[in-house]
Copies of this chain bind each other. A is one copy, B any other.
Amino acid sequence: MTVSQIDEEVAKLLKLKAQIGGDEGKHQFTLKTAKGTRDYNPKQMAIRERVFNTIIRCFKRHGAETIDTPVFELKETLTGKYGEDSKLIYDLKDQGGELLSLRYDLTVPFARYLAMNKITNIKRYHIAKVYRRDNPAMTRGRYREFYQCVNDRRILDGMFAVCGVPDDKFRTICSTVDKLDKMSWEDVKSEMVNEKGLSEEAADQIGQYVSMQGGMDLAERLLQDAKMSQSKQACAGLTDMKQLFSYLQLFQVTDKVVFDLSLARGLDYYTGVIYEAILTQNCPVNVSATQNGVDEKAEEGVSVGSVAGGGRYDGLVGMFDPKGRKVPCVGVSIGIERVFSIMEQKAEASARKVRTTETQVMVASAQKNLLNERLRLTAELWNAGIKTEVMYKKNPKLLSQLQHCEDSGIPLVAILGEQELKDGVVKLRTVHSREEVSHTHNSLFTSVWSPSPLVTIPGTLGGC
């Protein structure tokens, strides 16, 4: 029999076994996570922790507090908030009692929280997972920089009005405009005219506006625009846009922000300024340069979509308040999965090892029968707050103990041997230099704690 014949035979037999429910029928499980979900292994978690810490540090720097809300809400809390996206909500099975849905974003639960607790003033951040029944196609790539697009719902609505879009078509035309990041203007226009029944003239007028990008200057120009200035709404939005740019000037970030009349955002609940953070990808193009004898591809920035987005939603809290009291809100949501996937790729590309533990010392033995001594020293180090590991075998080889340190990035090894025990000392070995120094008990603890080069724990990720 050839190998492939054997494989085939084995496969047949396993299939048969599965059919008759072999091994007490236990093994017919599909061994997988649910569609659209994934596990995070320790390396991925170490990177995720870095990303989160960077973001949380930023929120804290700006004085934000954090809250948490449950993973599911009453179904009615989510009803009527997401427009066409509502079909993507995960519902829980009716098992008696309340009808529940998994949260679709953090904004609606936040609005519910504000209304419930009658809060009108809070700067909060909330890090949690949200659940959507779609098929996220994760584009991966190397990203060079990012910038932010800004627009205002009132400018969009004013623009629609002055271009002759009927009132009842605002939202659906807005959805079509939102596709400009993925479709050409020709295709967007065709959808407006042929699918949504807009007049070609109105579409063309919209086309002129949505191609505009700029800053303070553009807002000023549009306030003078013969058509645009006819809309009170548009003027209100443009005036606020000017104010926003005056703050951006104070913060010295105008080079990162673009006022873009094509930005629409999908969700229904925005009432004012809207924005997105866009990453620019490094894409190889067909120009090659030879440097140091190595072929390098010239690279060009290409937009790969948004990693964050948000806006003002002044009406949402009022929808939950018994008296309809409005609480103005503005916020941003960061697509952490995307940011994380970028960081993960960076880590893979870098030669640097990602540590998944923070262990400072491995307690090892050079001879047999020292398990009790190893455990005793380990407990002492733990009690002193030192991150310590010990191998669980009774008699591990010294080499395999040292190898484990190399593999997992543990910088120090405390080595016990018969002689050391007699002398009342411990040998402390620095893994990367292989240097060994004998220590008394007390000086051991000080050495591990002291901020000397001995305890430099290699960073888990460069540049993030």
Contacts and interface: CB of A to CB of B under 8 A. Distances in A.
A94 B93 contact: yes
Given A42-B65, A66-B45, A357-B65, A322 B34 contact: no
A34 B74 contact: yes
Contacts of A115: 31
Interface stretch (A55-63, A153-161, A205-213, A435-443): A55-63
Contacts of A131: 71
A372 interface: yes
Given A33-B74, A39-B117, 10 more contacts: A30-B76, A31-B322, A32-B74, A34-B72, A61-B385, A63-B357, A63-B388, A71-B71, A90-B95, A250-B375
Interface string A98-127: 101010000000001101110000101000
A358 B62 CA distance: 9
Q: How many copies does the complex hold?
A: 2
A197 interface: no
Contacts of A356: 65-66
A90 B91 contact: no
Interface residues of A, number: 80
Contacts of A65: 42, 45, 356-357
A344 interface: no
A292 interface: no
By Cβ-Cβ distance, the 5 closest A-B pairs, closest first, are A37-B70, A42-B65, A63-B389, A91-B93, A40-B68
Nearest to A124: B42
Contacts of A37: 70, 72
A7 B94 CA distance: 37
Contacts of A77: 29
Interface of A: 23, 26-27, 29-35, 37-42, 45, 48-49, 60-74, 76-77, 90-95, 97-98, 100, 102, 112-113, 115-117, 122, 124, 129, 131, 133, 247, 250-252, 319-324, 356-359, 372, 375-376, 379, 382, 385-389
A74 B60 CA distance: 37
A382 B62 contact: yes
27 contacts: A27-B321, A27-B324, A29-B320, A32-B74, A33-B116, A34-B70, A34-B72, A35-B98, A37-B70, A37-B72, A42-B65, A42-B122, A45-B68, A48-B68, A49-B66, A60-B358, A61-B385, A62-B387, A62-B389, A63-B357, A63-B387, A71-B71, A90-B92, A250-B372, A251-B375, A251-B379, A252-B379
